[in-house]
Amino acid sequence: MRVYGRARVHDLLGDFIVYRSLAPLDPRLPGLPRLREGIGLAPGLIPRKSSPEYAQVVVSILQEARKLNGNRGPLMRLVYIGDTRVNDGIAFSNLCQAGGWRGMAFIGAEDGGPARLEVVEEETGTLVFSNRWAGLEDFPRVSRDFPVDEQTVVVIDLDKTLLGARGRNDHVIDKVRLKAVRETIFQVLGEGFSEASFTRNYTRLNQPEFHPFTTDNQDYLAYVCLILESGLLSLEELTTAIRSGRMRDFTGFLSWVDARVETLPRGVRRVHEHVRTAVMDGDPTPFKEFRRNEYRETVSHMGYMDDESPVHDLLTDEIVITHEVKQAAIRWRDQGALLFGLSDKPDEASLPPSQLEAQGYQPIHRVSTHVVGG
């Protein structure tokens, strides 16, 4: 591993990026509000990354982005770079189907074992799974009958792929998010906050066993941890209710809390009202205070270390750009491909609120950080 200077995601992708709201950062591109009716999407619903509706919206955005690049011909092929076998695999398949494209996907996640490359042929395209991000160097060999040119779009997952590579640097992203949850709950509860109980609650509920309850949504998890810390019920009472089926889902939990809202401390009651209203409005990112704290923590962990810092220290404490992904993207861009970034990260955790923007804070993709790779 070595350091390859500094860079910004913007240097590679410009503003051709969408976050969870499906509102492109480039204002020239159509977003979900303009595209919703055309794909028959229900009002207020924001599709998640693994849904077919998400793919339909993204394909429409990509087709318009291609026109902005000066290419009027149709897109024919998709290259997808991600880090999760299931979610990114599904997103890749949906995009291929929605666009009518041939596809190649590279899914990377380092695990410390012997280097291996697995090639899986599916109806929608070819997926290459590697336990080394350096496996991207072998990707052209696997895809030699798959030209990457002006008729190709390269879609790059941002979180734990281009930034904070899974298995190498992703723990910093997790650490930042956990710190943001902790800070948010402390801001609400003050002296009523217990570090030990918070850590126990968060760790337990962040396990796959409880994903059907939280839908693996960190906003929901942060809110649940706040309610537990407020003393309304214990972790044991909640997990027992979930396992028995008495507490089936997060909306049921919201209703349960709502029936007891008058017993909550004033600050917790205020958060509950905001979260409940946002959930009822179909907002998948209802805990805004948490996500704003996550944004601040994220930018504070990007590019803040000295250029002479050891690679180990950078990978341990800084969110860095993945050199292998960056170089592959540059190569494909030089071959004429359109580059576009996708992230399921909430906009509120990626863009500065107006008061911070006035102080000079930048969107995450415009923040300079170190580039690290093999």
Q: What is the pLDDT of residue 144?
A: 75
232 shares a domain with 180 = yes
Partners of residue 268 on adjacent β-strands: none
Q: What is the pLDDT of residue 228?
A: 97
Residue 255 has pLDDT above 90, yes or no: yes
The answer as to whether 50 is a domain residue is yes
What total of structural domains would you count in the chain? 2
Quick check: 105 and 81 in contact, CB under 8 A?
Answer: yes
110 shares a domain with 27 = yes
Q: What is the pLDDT of residue 346?
A: 95
193 shares a domain with 65 = no
Residue 37 has pLDDT above 90, yes or no: no
- Residue 339: burial class (beta carbons within 10 Å; 0-12, 13-18, 19+): buried
159 shares a domain with 39 = yes
The answer as to whether 303 is a domain residue is no
199 shares a domain with 158 = no
pLDDT in tens, 199-233: 999 999 999 999 999 999 999 999 999 999 999 99
pLDDT in tens, 303-350: 999 999 999 999 999 999 999 999 999 999 999 999 999 999 999 999
- This prediction's pTM: 0.93
The answer as to whether 253 is a domain residue is yes
Enclosing domain of residue 203: 170-286
Partners of residue 6 on adjacent β-strands: 370
Helix (H, G, I), strand (E, B) or coil at 45: coil
- Which residues have CB under 8 Å from 67's CB, separation 6+? none
The answer as to whether 291 is a domain residue is no
DSSP letter at 126 equals E
Structure-token pair, residue 208:
């796959």
